[in-house]
Amino acid sequence: MAKYLLLKHYRGAPASVNDVPMDQWTPEEISAHLKYMEDFASRLEETGEFVDHRALSPEGTFVRYDGEGRPPITDGPFAETKDLIAGWTVIDVETYERALELAAELSAAPGAGGKPVQEWLEVRPLLTPPPTITE
């Protein structure tokens, strides 16, 4: 089995088909979207393919070390993940094709007007530990 990260983007990916920002959805549309996500996770828990998922808060700050005894540097003139990444799901599946199949299913979550969002999801394999060399 291989683990994959399915990333949901606010922007940075091509626009979704139903490209209405979530802050313009009705409370019912938001509830339907969240229920779809929970039902998706529940089905994958039953098959053993679900690892974890999270929606991300829009708050966040870039931080980097700036030398001994100096305060960390925060933010900068670049896009931040708080502007780009809306959430993620980690799955553990047998094949890359299965990862793509599940990403497509997740992309069908309902959005504005109850229609599928049809958003683009980024599918990235998680690195596995390197092989151990024995003599």
The total domain count for the chain is 1
Domain range enclosing 68: 2-125
Q: What is the mean pLDDT of each run of 10 residues along the chain (135 residues)?
A: 86 79 92 95 96 83 78 62 74 96 94 92 88 77
Global pTM reads: 0.77
Q: Which pLDDT does position 26 carry in this prediction?
A: 95
**In angstroms, what CA-CA distances link 66 with 42, 72, 75?**
44, 6, 13
Does residue 12 lie within any of the structural domains?
A: yes
Strand partners, 8: 87, 121
Does residue 130 lie within any of the structural domains?
A: no
Does residue 135 lie within any of the structural domains?
A: no
Does residue 133 lie within any of the structural domains?
A: no
Other Cβ atoms less than 10 A from the Cβ of 30: the count is: 15
Look up the CATH number of the domain holding residue 38.
3.30.70.1060
Question: Do residues 109 and 16 make contact, with C-beta atoms less than 8 angstroms apart?
Answer: no
